[in-house]
Amino acid sequence: MSGGIVRHPIVSLLLSMAVLITAGCGYHLRGTTSVPPEMKTLIVDTSDPYGPLNRAVREQLRLNNVTILDKPGIRQDVPSLRLQGETVSRDTASIFQDGKTAEYSMMMVVRAQVLVPNKGIYPIGATVYRSFFDNSQAALAKDSEQDIIVKEMRTQAVEKLVRQLLTVHVAEANPAINTLDHTPSAVDRLPADANTISDSSYKR
């Protein structure tokens, strides 16, 4: 017998079926999505061009092969993605017997608007939840862990936000959907100034 790997015919068949099913289901690499063709070129507009949210959005768009135009107003025929900011809130999820906080629950909300020329304005948003344990004995480690968690939450929220471009595509195709008269969601009811982290409980 040679030194190569010999697969049982049934194993080979199962592997082939798995590949076909994966391809048929429209599988995408983590972090990628099916961005509509008309959104493959976008103007990204933000009041905080050097902030972490803008960097995360641009990275995600490039990952999805979206061409980003940096100068709002230079093109009138290209959709614009206006970033309205992120908010992070933190609440106590559980406590120790002595009354001290044992676990926190965190929520990040990212809001944006898509302006489609001659079509309208389409609000989009994404919400991500995470929890982490409070270690009062290691304050520096806790702050570092929290920073990592916030960064991971931002990445997840941005991935979901980019997927919302598909809903904009559906809304464009259905004139009956009027996003300007939509019922405000929890995301829409957030304060207008959402560029800073809210909730006094989230402090260094």
Checking if the pLDDT of 202 tops 50, the result is no
Q: 177: which 2 tokens?
A: 């959907």
Determine whether 57 is exposed, middle or buried from the number of CB atoms within 10 Å of its CB (0-12, 13-18, 19+). Answer: buried
The rounded mean pLDDT for the chain is: 74
Predicted local confidence at residue 186, as pLDDT? 36
pLDDT band at 174 (very low <50, low <70, confident <90, very high): low
- Write down the pLDDT at residue 86: 96
- Copy the structure tokens of residue 120: 């309208």
Band (75; pLDDT cuts 50, 70, 90): confident
Q: How many degrees, rounded to 5, is the angle at CA 96 between CA 94 and CA 102? A: 50
pLDDT at 16: 53
Domain ranges for the chain: 35-173
* pLDDT for residue 17: 53
Q: Indicate if the pLDDT at residue 200 is higher than 80.
A: no
- Pick 35-173's CATH classification: 3.30.360.10, 3.90.1150.10, 3.40.640.10, 3.30.160.150: 3.30.160.150
Which whole number is the average pLDDT over 32-58? Answer: 89
Pick the range with the lowest mean pLDDT from 11-15, 164-168, 175-179, 192-196.
192-196
The Cα 135–Cα 88 span in angstroms is 20
pLDDT bucket at 133, cuts 50 / 70 / 90: confident
The mean per-residue pLDDT over the stretch 39-68 comes to 94
